[in-house]
Amino acid sequence: MPLQSRFLSQLDFLSESLLRVFSKRSGKQGKMLKDMTDRMMDDVDARRESLIKGLCLYLNENPDILVHEYMDMTDVSTLSAIEKTTAGVYVAKETPGKDFPDVGIIIEGVVILQDLDNVALATAMLFGLFTAST
């Protein structure tokens, strides 16, 4: 089964339902979900990323544990943070020689994939790695 395309198509298919579920939350979590969904743009990749982060929030998880954002991948503090990461997706905002963010996957403190197109694709691939190993 093509996991990547299935994951992304189901995320798109369920997006309106997820947004309705998110809108029913109240309190601090509801406000964070509203802020996240308010930032959704017409860009499909940004929408998918927001939905994935929204799911983390909805499940009482910190989305920053799944998606780590860094400014400079050569910075000592960034390298130290990567070494401490068990598993996750990274987004490097300022990558030398690139006009767009670098997206990749970290497992056990090692960048195993890089130069992926977006966070949703990286998340699908990360889930695929865990699914394949079980």
pLDDT digits (tens, 9 = 90+) for 30-79: 999 988 888 777 789 889 999 999 999 999 999 999 999 988 777 788 88
Q: Which of 33, 48, 63 marks a domain boundary?
A: 63
What pLDDT does residue 73 have? Answer: 75
Evaluated on CA atoms 42, 116, 90, 58, the torsion sign reads: positive
Q: Are residues 88 and 99 in the same domain?
A: yes
Instruction: Note the pTM of the prediction, 2 decimals.
Output: 0.83
pLDDT digits (tens, 9 = 90+) for 110-130: 999 988 989 999 999 998 877
CA angle 17, 32, 58 (to 5 degrees): 45
Q: Are residues 49 and 74 in the same domain?
A: no
Q: Are residues 68 and 115 in the same domain?
A: yes
Domain enclosing residue 26, as ranges: 3-63
pLDDT digits (tens, 9 = 90+) for 78-109: 888 999 999 999 998 876 666 778 899 999 99
Q: Are residues 77 and 58 in the same domain?
A: no
CA angle 79, 85, 87 (to 5 degrees): 130
